[in-house]
Chains A and B, each alone.
Chain A
């Protein structure tokens, strides 16, 4: 079995004691554990506590840090824009901006109503850029609206969140330095591995880089909350490579044979 649920953590460690030397962590579980509106927040935060109690070191790399910052950036901007939409008199705004705000609010509320247990909707990078272009044209005496929103909600706070997470989890960074290669990697991760995962498994490029690093490493387990990561590990079915996920996600993968074939 290559896919496990969080509730099977102790069984996984009993059957694969070598996993205690370190877990490779995916961005998704880091985001779930730090974002309390995420569908899997409680599961992920509790599971990470279990890893820490077992004194298992957690490993990541720059791709994971970059993706973590990107997801939190999208969360912070989405919520700031929703707050702005709720509080600002729209008659003072250009029609296009006012319209875009209303559209996002409606889409957000519709999703909340239709799927109340899911993680709330986030703006995509493209949508954030559209708001940026519209808000940068709203100019006050000293500053434009977008710059103020950035200073107010993002500023240096986003990197503080990462530093806090890094320190709380004692994250160990895996690089391509020789020491890391010798100690933690079976082989240097090759770009072909990433393109293979993108083309054959349909993974996003960031997920493909994370999975490729895991496959090139000596780590036995990747901890995630993302079905796509679990699905990929399950489909690859490589000896001694396991993925541990929220039970609900694991069950979704293993109960659908078409997904794993």
Chain B
């Protein structure tokens, strides 16, 4: 049986992986994350008279 040669990597290809990972890390959090916080807050009876909005701070400040 022929001995299988080890695989070799591709020069320059690792940069693409790092770029994809960085994009994933810098991706803004989904709107759904803040909707869940709001829905959870709204469901609590003690909070009914004092409603707040769970939007990102930047939206509130804008």
Contacts and interface: CB of A to CB of B under 8 A. Distances in A.
B3 A183 contact: yes
Given A34-B17, A34-B18, A168-B16, A87 B34 contact: yes
Nearest to B4: A179
B51 to A, nearest CB: 10
A152 B6 contact: no
Interface string A166-180: 011111100000000
A133 interface: no
B25 A152 contact: no
A152 B29 contact: yes
A148 B30 contact: yes
B12 interface: yes
Interface in A117-149: 138-141, 143-145, 148-149
Nearest to B59: A87
Interface string A79-106: 1100110111101110000000000000
A139 B36 contact: yes
A87 B56 CA distance: 4
A interface: dominant SS: helix
B20 A161 contact: yes
A230 interface: no
B33 A145 contact: yes
Interface string B1-33: 001001111111111111011101101111011
B40 A145 contact: yes
Contacts of B7: 57, 170-172
Contacts of B39: 139-141
B interface: dominant SS: helix
A191 B34 CA distance: 48
Contact of A149 (B33, B41, B60): B33
B29 A83 contact: yes
A161 B17 contact: yes
A75 interface: yes
Interface in B45-62: 52-58, 60
Interface of A: 22, 33-36, 41, 45, 48-49, 51-53, 55, 57-59, 72, 75-76, 79-80, 83-84, 86-89, 91-93, 138-141, 143-145, 148-149, 152-153, 157, 160-161, 164-165, 167-172, 183
25 contacts: A35-B18, A35-B21, A36-B18, A48-B9, A48-B14, A57-B6, A75-B25, A76-B25, A79-B25, A84-B29, A87-B56, A87-B57, A89-B37, A89-B52, A139-B39, A139-B40, A140-B39, A143-B32, A145-B33, A145-B40, A152-B32, A157-B24, A164-B16, A167-B10, A170-B9
